[in-house]
Amino acid sequence: MPARRLLSPRAPRRVATVSVHTSPLDQPGAGDAGGMNVYIVEVSRRLAARGIAVDVFTRATSSDLPPVVEMTPGVTVRHVSAGPFEGLGKEELPAQLCAFTAGVLREEAQHEPGHYDVVHSHYWLSGQVGWLARDRWSVPLIHTAHTLAKVKNAALADGDRPEPRARVIGEEQVVAEADRLVANTEEEARQLVDHYGADPRRTLVVPPGVDLDRFRPGDRAAARRALGVPADAVVLTFVGRIQPLKAPDLLLEAAARMLEDDPALRDRLQVHVVGAPSGSGLEAPRRLEELAVRLGIADRVRFLPPQAPDRLALHYRAADVAVVPSHNESFGLVALEAQACGTPVVAAEVGGLITAVDDGVSGVLVGSRDPAAYAAAIRAVLARRALLAAGARRHASAFSWERTADALVAAYAAAAAEMAAGAAPARRERALGALWPVAGTQVAW
């Protein structure tokens, strides 16, 4: 039998993006909104700029939300009714996936066949929906996990709840069914292969980007004046959701250790925590403030709500050091944003942060959970700040959303061509089979 000829890849005309549990319209840094929201917003904008229409399907969380919102020309957010509007936690959403999927399929059914060329799902809940849409529409499914239950459970913070078995099974199903798996880093690609049996031939490494126009170096003194920060302050900044996984408590403990070692620093030190309680952090929303009191540094810590992007850039510029002490990160966009503003980073040596931070060049990676180790790393960065600030901007400049979008369009087109030619790789059985070696994993750029 002659070999099938692959069709020449063609860029899609319209992409169905699925983000069940959080909307790209939500403010990152609170609730379930974080780096994934930024990713979807930035990629969708770049796709639209290339003439590719994007429909983002997300669950309606309020009866006041309009069914359809134009986020930007070419990008439409569609609010799908599935379950109660308010008060439904992420852990309760699996029960609403049938209703959500029905809403997505109903929208496509109003158009001529072939309305969407590809489905791109984000997070495992969306992957379950995307898998069914793919089968109904006969278009490829591209999936980005963003976080993985098995990896998260292996690096839990003390007292944090493990991800449930249902999520693990759901992720295994999506990994088995997706036409392409998009990993943020080579480490994540290895995790998909080693822990989930992903096929390396369908696993791509596509690093996220950063908006280098918005997040750029600026006048630090002017940024401090705008934020009411003294010119001579030593500012340590945490940005993100306040929950055990992100470990902002480690920054507070490190700051307390710095004051123990150098009491003269007390009048100048400021710790800025930018974000809101989220996830299991909602169970004790004042825990971090209470910790600051117990450590005797409450007067040195400023708790600030999540910030709009332009305001957030001011916070990065005003900081001496950005600190990202997470137990795990699939990438760590906060670290990249800070570096793009010329602010060096002290970060945990875990997950995607190993890629997001160039150790010794744009900041320092810490392989310990000991507050003393973080205090030492922060002091080391402060001593070399000017040199590391220049390295931070150089490192961040290697990442851009344009490159991310280009790699995704290529992945969409290749997967569609394979499907059209009947040449998509054979899927493994849903029961776990043999694991593939990671050596075959593709790196998109």
Annotated binding site: 21, 27-28, 32-37, 90, 123, 147, 167, 241, 246, 307, 316-317, 319, 329, 337, 343
| Binding annotation for 1D-myo-inositol 3-phosphate | 21, 32-37, 90, 123, 147, 167
Sign (positive or negative) of CA dihedral 108, 109, 115, 116: positive
The pairing of strands 14-18 and 234-239 is unpaired
Sign (positive or negative) of CA dihedral 84, 111, 142, 179: positive
Helix (H, G, I), strand (E, B) or coil at 229: coil
Query: Distance from first CA to last CA of the chain, Å, rounded?
Result: 35
Q: What are all long-range contacts of 283-292, with beta carbons under 8 Å and residues at least 24 apart?
A: 285/242, 287/249, 288/242, 288/248, 288/249, 288/252, 291/249, 291/252, 291/253, 292/252
Helix (H, G, I), strand (E, B) or coil at 252: helix
Torsion of CA 126, 70, 240, 198, to 10 degrees: 30
CA angle 75, 31, 206 (to 5 degrees): 50
| Binding annotation for Mg(2+) | 316-317, 319, 343
DSSP 358: -
| Binding annotation for UDP-N-acetyl-alpha-D-glucosamine | 27-28, 35, 241, 246, 307, 329, 337
Q: Can you tell me the distance from the alpha carbon of 201 to that of 96, in angstroms, rounded to the nearest whole number?
A: 32
Residue 139, Cβ neighbours under 10 Å: how many? 27
| The pair of three-digit structure tokens given for residue 380, joined into one six-digit string | 């080391």
CB of 74 closer than 8 Å to CB of 53: yes
